[in-house]
Amino acid sequence: MNSIFIIEIPGGVCCSRGVWTGSHHICVYMGKRGSNTLLVSGEKGTGRAREKERESAHSRLAQAPVLEKRSSVRGGSMASSHGRSDVRFADWMASLPQSMHTIPLTNLAIPGSHDSFSFYIDEASPVGPEQPETVQNFVSVFGTVAKKLMRKWLATQTMNFNSQLEAGIRFFDLRISTKPRDPDNELFFAHGLFSATVREGLEQISNFLSAHAREVVFLDFNHFYGVQNLHHEKLVAMLKEVFGEKLCPVVFAQEVTLQYLWEKEYQVLVFYHHPMALEVPFLWPGQMMPSPWANTTDPEKLVQFLQASVTDRRRKGTFFVSQVVLTPKASTVMKGVASGLRETITERALPGMMQWIRSQRPGESGINIITADFVELGEFISAVITLNYHLDDDEDDAT
């Protein structure tokens, strides 16, 4: 027997990555402009038991799913399309040809993940402080059912940090939040709902780097929710404690090559979109990592935006992120509420996105860091890494 609830809320509650999500027990009807009418149906009885089971299954960071069966990242290696020997994803930087060791990292193609931490979303946690009151009220009425609805559209990754690193991801998009009334002032990754603690994630990354001494990562702290000065100080101290001598101090971006980093044994570049960056030697200012956002659900408009952004980037001397990411509108979410972000948007747009990526070239006037949702799809990681070998080919052609 199903129960049906109807709730009237103001329109326009969908944030940049959506706040409504889908479940096989949920249906939603979008009303006229100005108000949304939601019809939520859920099974009684066994539903709560299943919810508890799922909550338990997602209780720890390390238990996050590694790869789904549809994943195209397999075997941990990349067959080169240029006739070169296979390159292990986990050590792809160390395996680049010597000619690339002195190329600035601003001129290399580097794969990254969007909302990197969202492989784990804690449905037992409160809603993030950045969410509007309408969302807070929705969750207060429907509880875990509402959070499962949100999760379908908030989770943009399936692999945990270690698995992303093993697969070749080197750029991480990180958003930090505190929990309301938390006496411990703990820091969490968050996007609508809370994820793992920041310390857990950083330690997982550090452990990988200790085992792969010639790999380098970019940590981009770009959103802070409910974070005060004492929290920033705590995060800076945590970065020092976890990474220590691996942290690369701020220098001219064009000086940062693999050879430079290897010689000094640096492995971590931290970009910090907050004035605190000006006070700490190893915090790179956020403007050194611009990441323009298309904010569209239209694949064609996204490609146009990406191409224009790369053109504008030329010769600015900074790192640069191309977000190959489609952002759902409220109407998109309503139409695909039972499917979620991956099936409704990401997988359908994948062929066109991969075509654009494969057409690009790294370099001073080309792409640099490319981020995506569900990075295991469509050979995204290997396609980005392979772009670097065109630099080698261009050099051969020039001679």
pLDDT tens-digit map of 246-281? 999 999 999 999 999 999 999 999 999 999 999 999
C-alpha to C-alpha distance for 137 and 143, rounded to whole angstroms: 10
Q: What is the mean pLDDT of residues 137-164?
A: 84
- The answer for 378, left when phi > 0, alpha when psi is -120 to 50, beta otherwise, is left
Whole-prediction pTM value? 0.80
> Does the pLDDT of residue 46 top 60, yes or no?
no
C-alpha to C-alpha distance for 205 and 162, rounded to whole angstroms: 6
> Does the pLDDT of residue 31 top 90, yes or no?
no
Query: Does residue 223 carry a catalytic annotation?
Result: no
C-alpha to C-alpha distance for 257 and 37, rounded to whole angstroms: 54
Question: Cβ(287)–Cβ(129) under 8 Å?
Answer: no
Q: What is the CA radius of gyration of the chain?
A: 21
- The answer for 218, left when phi > 0, alpha when psi is -120 to 50, beta otherwise, is beta
Query: Does residue 232 carry a catalytic annotation?
Result: no
Distance of CA 314 to the CA centre of its chain: 24
Least confident of 59-68, 119-128, 272-281, 357-366: 59-68
C-alpha to C-alpha distance for 190 and 177, rounded to whole angstroms: 6
Report percent pLDDT > 70 for the chain: 75
> Does the pLDDT of residue 128 top 50, yes or no?
yes
In the chain the domains, ranked by start, together with CATH numbers, are 2-6+51-398 (3.20.20.190)
Higher pLDDT, 16 or 388: 388
Residue of 82, 101, 191, 232 marked catalytic: 191
Identify the three-state secondary structure at position 172.
Answer: strand
pLDDT band with cut points at 50, 70 and 90 for residue 54: very low
Residue 189 forms beta bridges with which residues?
176
Residue of 25, 82, 101, 114 marked catalytic: 114
pLDDT band with cut points at 50, 70 and 90 for residue 181: confident
Q: What's the pLDDT tens digit per position in 197-206?
A: 999 999 999 9
pLDDT of residue 76: 54
Closest CA to 232 of 269, 200, 184, 280: 280
Identify the three-state secondary structure at position 208.
Answer: helix
Q: What is the mean pLDDT of residues 133-155?
A: 77
> Does the pLDDT of residue 68 top 70, yes or no?
no
Closest CA to 157 of 113, 101, 221: 113
> In this structure, what DSSP letter does residue 366 have?
S
> Does the pLDDT of residue 7 top 90, yes or no?
no
Closest CA to 211 of 88, 111, 98, 117: 88
> Does the pLDDT of residue 113 top 50, yes or no?
yes
Helix axes 46-57, 133-154, angle to 10 degrees: 70
Q: What's the pLDDT tens digit per position in 271-312?
A: 999 999 999 999 999 999 999 999 999 999 999 999 999 998
- Residues near 184 by beta carbon (within 8 Å), at least 6 away in sequence: none
